[in-house]
Amino acid sequence: MSVTLVSLWTSLRRRFEAVGADNPVTDARMLIEAGAGVSRLDIVTDPYRELSTEQLAAVEALVIRRERREPIAYILGRKAFWNIELAVGPEVLIPRPETELLVETALDLLPSNAPARVLDLGVGSGAILLSVLAERQSAVGVGIDKSASALETAAANAAALHLDGRVSFREGDWTADGRFDLVLSNPPYIRSGDLAALAPELHYEPRMALDGGEDGLDAYRAITCALPGLLGPNGAFALEVGEGQADAVAEMAEVVGLTLMPHRRDLQGIARVLAGRGAG
Ligand code: GLN
């Protein structure tokens, strides 16, 4: 029996439901598009179009990966975030929707069009830093990461977005040389002991980008210690935090003399971004 776009969509949706993937309808559609080289419009307007053997084989190769719970972003090699699209691979954390709150906070902290130096500690794919630079034409950025392969991906993303003239990337460990107007970070914050129980998809992601140590707060200890030396006059910072971590991180920031703003909550009501300024 011939396989049509709509019959394939239905059967893939069922296969993804059976393995407990959380977006079976969208995942099925995206893998048909990527594997068979058809558009979303083709699927909707021409649902009874038949697929060739070659198209079916190409889709199946992607489907098998998703059934093993590889994240859809790694299979497609890209992820939309804020107003940009990023290339992503297993060397970088996949940008999360809640991290857009960090970008929103960063843009509020940067007066539009004034020149500014922005630092992103643990830059990964470049999602945060490149989103901010794309919206603030007079800003320049530095991205730091411990992973050389992550830095290569971030640099490729910067070039693809024509932002490479305003950003540089260096290897480092929660600190940098120089002073900045804005320091941003979404560090690893999951407790080491919680990692094993996470959704299978997270095991494809770099452990270095998720593992926050025994209490999940290791990176915040390093970052809050470094912040006073990184902030220029009237410099600001914004950090993403995990659920239930805002108070502990706020205390670390206060101990080193930083001034805090009220934390910001994500769409689920979780205190997600902690922002503030240097001593002055
Ligand atoms: N928000 C990610 C998650 O819970 C964790 C990212 C991080 O550790 N910074 O899946």
Domain of 136: which CATH number?
A: 3.40.50.150
Ligand 1 close to Cβ of residue 188 (< 6 A): yes
Same domain, 29 and 150: no
Whether the per-residue pLDDT at 36 is higher than 90: the answer is yes
* pLDDT score of 7 more than 80: yes
63 and 87: one domain? no
CB 266 within 8 A of CB 98: yes
| Prediction pTM value | 0.95
d(C-alpha 16, C-alpha 67), whole Å: 6
Lowest mean pLDDT among 23-27, 110-114, 237-241: 110-114
The answer on 86 and 52 residing in a single domain is: no
Q: pLDDT-derived band of residue 252, with 50, 70 and 90 as boundaries?
A: very high
Q: Is residue 123 part of a domain?
A: yes
Instruction: Work out the average pLDDT over 25-32.
Output: 97
pLDDT at 223 exceeding the cut of 70: yes
Domain boundary among 68, 92, 108: 68
Q: Based on the fold, state whether residues 186 and 53 are members of the same structural domain.
A: no
Residues 45 and 145 in one domain: no
**Has residue 73 been placed in a domain?**
no
Between the CA of residue 61 and those of 21, 54, 201, 204, 246, what are the distances in Å? 17, 11, 18, 18, 42
Do 242 and 111 lie in a common domain? yes
For the Cβ of 208 lying below 6 angstroms from any atom of ligand 1, the answer is no
Same-domain pairing of 87 and 187: yes
Cβ–ligand 1 distance for 96 under 6 Å, the answer yes
Q: Is 112 a residue whose pLDDT tops 90?
A: no
Residue 74 maps to a domain? no
- Digit-coded pLDDT (tens) for 55-93: 999 999 999 999 999 999 999 999 999 999 999 999 999
Q: What's the 210 CA to ligand 1 centre distance in angstroms?
A: 6
With a 6 Å cutoff on the Cβ, whether 186 touches ligand 1 is: yes
What confidence score (pLDDT) does residue 28 get? 98
Q: Is residue 245 assigned to a domain?
A: yes
Q: Which residues pair with 121 in a beta bridge?
A: 144, 185
- Ligand 1 atom nearest the C-alpha of 93 is 6
What is the mean pLDDT of the segment spanning 157-186?
97
**Average pLDDT score, the chain:** 97
| Residue from 22, 121, 210 whose mutation best tests the ligand 1 pocket (most atoms within 8 A of CB) | 210
Q: Is residue 129 in contact with ligand 1, taking CB distance under 6 Å?
A: no
What pLDDT score was predicted for residue 111? Answer: 83
Q: Are residues 233 and 256 in the same domain?
A: yes
**Average pLDDT score over residue span 210-235:** 97
Domain that holds residue 120: 82-277
**One domain for residues 55 and 148:** no
- Say which residues have a Cβ less than 8 Å from residue 199's Cβ, sequence separation at least 6: 22, 69
- Whether residue 275 is predicted with pLDDT greater than 90 in this model: the reply is yes
Q: Which atom of ligand 1 is nearest to the CA of 98?
A: 1
Total count of domains within the chain: 2
Best residue among 93, 145, 190 to mutate for probing ligand 1, ranked by most atoms within 8 Å of CB: 190
Q: Is the residue at 269 inside a domain?
A: yes
The answer to the question of residue 271 being in a domain is: yes
Which of 14, 45, 68 corresponds to the end of one domain?
A: 68
Residues 255, 138 share a domain: yes
Whether residue 37 lies inside any domain: the answer is yes
Assess whether the C-beta atom of 210 lies below 6 angstroms from ligand 1. yes
Separation CA 139–CA 149 (nearest Å): 25
Q: Is residue 146 part of a domain?
A: yes
What is the b/e burial string over 74-93, where b = at least 16 CB atoms within 10 angstroms of the residue's CB? bbbebbebbebebbbbebbb
Among the atoms of ligand 1, which is closest to the Cα of residue 186? 9
**198 and 253 housed in the same domain:** yes
Predicted pLDDT of residue 113: 82
Q: Verify that 59 and 90 share a domain, yes or no.
A: no
Q: What is the pLDDT of residue 280?
A: 61
